[in-house]
């Protein structure tokens, strides 16, 4: 199966987002695989790749990324392999398989007009250099199809939580912890107060999680810490909750006399709400039934570049890529039996929407 061979070629080119040389090599390999199937070289925007097919109005944007979370050398420990119907290798599920599926689905159609394929190289680190490109492309299209891996059991992703990321810095005053601790203002104690205040912003009923994560404070064991900091991960289902949390984070006030609280960061990705995917999912479900696929949908906590396009009001459907699991984990895998049916579904969707 050529699809398997192309997945192997993509997986075997390691591409951690922050290794610019590796990402450049991956862009070359991805461009070669895509060009062979699409019959055209991509436009290169740094290490992002774009194919604009046909000359008509833009209709369908196919969106993916070729960077991964896995450091160089992971292949030596977790090599690409297919065994007992399961494909493994770093980045196979998130999302090298989805890229190969895009190329093969488009190649199966008769020169589709109005289709754009956009493959970016920094999704795993928040899309700092590609967000503007993604949003500009999305505005020209009537639908966006994202081939990130499916949700559990092969479910299509019709909702994704939005994300916000913050760094909270606590400024205190140093003093000797044994001789005159009372003259200090402890950034560690202030951090403890602020961590608890931030955690209380969680509202599980609304689907909002506000999670303090990395924490550091102080310099030596016998010094009242003058500075500390912690990171905060926020996941929300709607824009109102994202705004509520943002306002609360920026309103944090110090508890200790003499302490200062500094908050940086903010919303990174808007939520992909159900209304932006419902119509496309109905189309996918109908087309799936015609080829023997019974599709289900799921709401997930993780974000993707589809959040950006849905946030603009462009209908977006996500999770159309590989069926498998273990994204970012040692057990990352893809079910081989689902590759052809899901690629066939993707091709049918593209044809229907163009």
Statement to judge: residues 96 and 225 lie in one domain: no
Q: How many Cα atoms within 13 Å fall on the side-chain side of residue 264?
A: 5
Do 102 and 225 share a domain, yes or no? no
Strand pairing category for 156-160 and 297-300: parallel
Same domain, yes or no, for 242 and 306?
no
| Upstream peptide bond of 166 is cis (omega within 30 degrees of 0) | no
Average pLDDT over residues 116-142: 97
Would you say residue 106 has pLDDT above 80? yes
250: its two tokens? 């920026």
283-296, pLDDT tens digit by residue? 999 999 999 999 99
Distances (CA, A) of 107 to 28, 232, 237: 19, 43, 36
Give pLDDT tens digits for 325-341.
Answer: 999 999 999 999 999 99
Strand order, beta sheet including 81-83: 81-83, 86-88, 333-335, 324-325
20: left (phi over 0), alpha (psi -120 to 50) or beta: alpha
Mean pLDDT of all residues in 232-254: 97
- Pairing relationship of beta strands 324-325 and 223-224 according to DSSP bridges: unpaired
Domain final position from 247, 269, 291? 269
Strand 156-160 to 324-325 pairing: unpaired
Q: What is the pLDDT of residues 172-195, one digit of tens each?
A: 999 999 999 999 999 999 999 999
Domain count, the chain: 2
CA 335/CA 316 separation, integer angstroms: 24
Across all residues in the chain, what is the average pLDDT? 97
Mean local confidence (pLDDT), 110-123: 95
- Both tokens of residue 112? 């589709």
pLDDT bin (cut points 50, 70, 90) of residue 261 is very high
Calpha distance 177→222 (Å, rounded): 5
Indicate which CATH number applies to the domain containing 208. 3.30.70.360
Report cis status (omega within 30 of 0) of the bond before 95.
Answer: yes
pLDDT digits (tens, 9 = 90+) for 150-160: 999 999 999 99
Greatest Cα pair distance, the chain, in angstroms, is 80
- Same domain flag for 42 and 70: yes
Whether 186 and 153 map to the same domain: the answer is: no
Pick from 70, 34, 68, 69: which is nearest to 49 by CA?
Answer: 34
Calculate what percentage of the chain has a pLDDT beyond 70: 100
Averaged pLDDT for residues 244-266: 98
Asked if 139 and 189 sit in the same domain, the reply is: no
Decide if 323 contacts 154 (C-beta within 8 A).
yes
Domain of 28, in residue numbers: 2-160+271-353
- Contact predicate 121/305, CB 8 Å: no
Q: Which residues contact 132 (CB under 8 A, 6 or more apart)?
A: none
Task: Inform me whether the pLDDT recorded for 312 exceeds 70.
Answer: yes
Q: Tell me: the pLDDT tens digits for 46-96?
A: 999 999 999 999 999 999 999 999 999 999 999 999 999 999 999 999 999
Q: Which residues contact 352 (CB under 8 A, 6 or more apart)?
A: 283, 287
Residue with tokens 């398989």: 97
Half-sphere exposure of 128 (CA within 13 A, CB side): 3
Answer yes or no: is pLDDT of 1 > 80. no
280 and 143 share one domain: yes
Please identify, among 213, 235, 269, the residue that sits at the C-terminal boundary of a domain: 269
CB atoms within 10 A of CB 8: 17
d(CA 306, CA 309): 5
**Res. 110: pLDDT tops 90:** no
Alpha helices in the chain (DSSP H): 2-11, 20-38, 74-77, 97-107, 131-139, 187-199, 239-250, 278-290, 306-311, 339-353
Q: Do 97 and 6 belong together in one domain?
A: yes
In this structure, the answer to whether residues 32 and 134 fall within a common structural domain is yes
Whether residue 168 sits in one domain with residue 93: no
156 and 65 both lie in a single domain: yes
Q: What is the pLDDT of residue 200?
A: 98
Query: Which whole number is the average pLDDT over 221-227?
Result: 98
Q: For the residues 42-48, what does the mean pLDDT come to?
A: 98
Over residues 34-55, the mean pLDDT reads: 97
CA distance 176 to 2: 68
What percentage of residues in the chain have a pLDDT greater than 90? 98
Query: Who's near 168: CB < 8 A, 6+ residues apart?
Result: 191, 194, 198, 229, 230, 231, 232, 249, 252, 261, 262, 263
Last residue of a domain, one of 269, 284, 303: 269
In this structure, the answer to whether residues 51 and 108 fall within a common structural domain is: yes
Average pLDDT over residues 237-244: 95
Tell me the CA end-to-end span of the chain in Å, nearest whole number. 27
Q: What is the CATH number of the domain that holds 16?
A: 3.40.630.10
């Amino acid at each position: 199966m050529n699809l398997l061979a192309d997945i192997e070629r993509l997986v075997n080119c390691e591409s951690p987002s922050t290794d610019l040389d590796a990402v450049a090599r991956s862009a070359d390999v991805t461009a070669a695989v895509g060009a062979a199937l699409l019959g055209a070289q991509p436009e290169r925007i740094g290490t992002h790749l774009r194919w604009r097919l046909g000359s008509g109005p833009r209709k369908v944007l196919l969106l993916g990324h070729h960077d991964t979370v896995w450091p160089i050398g992971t292949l030596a420990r977790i090599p690409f392999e297919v065994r007992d119907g399961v494909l493994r290798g770093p980045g196979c599920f998130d999302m090298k398989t989805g890229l190969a599926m895009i190329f093969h689905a488009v190649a199966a159609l008769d020169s589709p007009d109005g289709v754009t394929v956009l493959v970016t190289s920094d999704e795993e680190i928040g899309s700092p250099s590609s967000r503007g490109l993604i949003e500009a492309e999305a505005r020209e299209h009537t639908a966006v199809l994202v081939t990130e891996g499916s949700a559990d059991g092969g479910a299509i992703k019709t909702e994704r939580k939005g994300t916000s990321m913050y760094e909270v810095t606590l400024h205190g005053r140093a003093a000797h912890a044994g001789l005159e601790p009372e003259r200090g203002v402890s950034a560690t104690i202030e951090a403890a107060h602020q961590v608890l205040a931030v955690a209380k912003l969680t509202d599980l009923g609304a689907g909002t999680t506000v999670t303090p994560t990395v924490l550091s404070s102080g310099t030596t064991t016998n010094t009242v810490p003058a500075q500390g900091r912690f990171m905060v991960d926020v996941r929300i289902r709607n824009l109102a909750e994202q705004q509520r949390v943002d306002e609360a984070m920026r309103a944090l006030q110090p508890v200790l006399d003499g302490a200062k609280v500094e908050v940086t960061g903010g919303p990174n990705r808007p939520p992909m709400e159900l209304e932006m995917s419902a119509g496309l999912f109905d189309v996918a479900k109908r087309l799936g039934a015609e080829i023997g696929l019974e599709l289900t949908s799921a709401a997930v906590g993780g974000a993707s570049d589809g959040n950006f396009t849905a946030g603009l009001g462009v209908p977006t459907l996500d999770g159309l890529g590989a069926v498998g699991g273990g994204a970012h984990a040692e057990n990352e895998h893809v079910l081989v039996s689902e590759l052809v049916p899901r690629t066939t579904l993707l091709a049918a969707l593209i044809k229907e929407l163009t």
